[in-house]
Amino acid sequence: MEKLDLTVQGMSCGGCVSGVTKALEAVPGVSGVQVTLEGGKVSLSYDAHQAGPELVKAAIREAGFEVVG
């Protein structure tokens, strides 16, 4: 499993955190999703055979948020 840490802009409430979490948990191969509202921190693990950073970032963008790091 690979680990990935990102910063996400646009989250302003618990509903945003829930939306990002659900979007990431729906990506095949992603597990251990942790989303923190303060600072927009997202941490997760993924199976490199099923997912990758670009797929994860695309899921966040589709949920309506911007990945900045």
Cα separation, 7 vs 16, in Å, equals 14
What pLDDT is attached to residue 69?
65
What structural domains and CATH numbers belong to the chain? 2-67 (3.30.70.100)
Cα separation, 35 vs 44, in Å, equals 9
Using a 10 angstrom Cβ sphere, with 0-12 exposed, 13-18 middle and 19 or more buried, the burial of residue 39 is exposed
Structure token pair of residue 54: 């670009």
What pLDDT is attached to residue 68?
93
What pLDDT is attached to residue 49?
96
CB 42 within 8 A of CB 35: yes
Per-residue pLDDT of the chain (69 residues; tens, 9 = 90+): 999 999 999 999 999 999 999 999 999 999 999 999 999 999 999 999 999 999 999 999 999 999 996
pTM of the model: 0.92
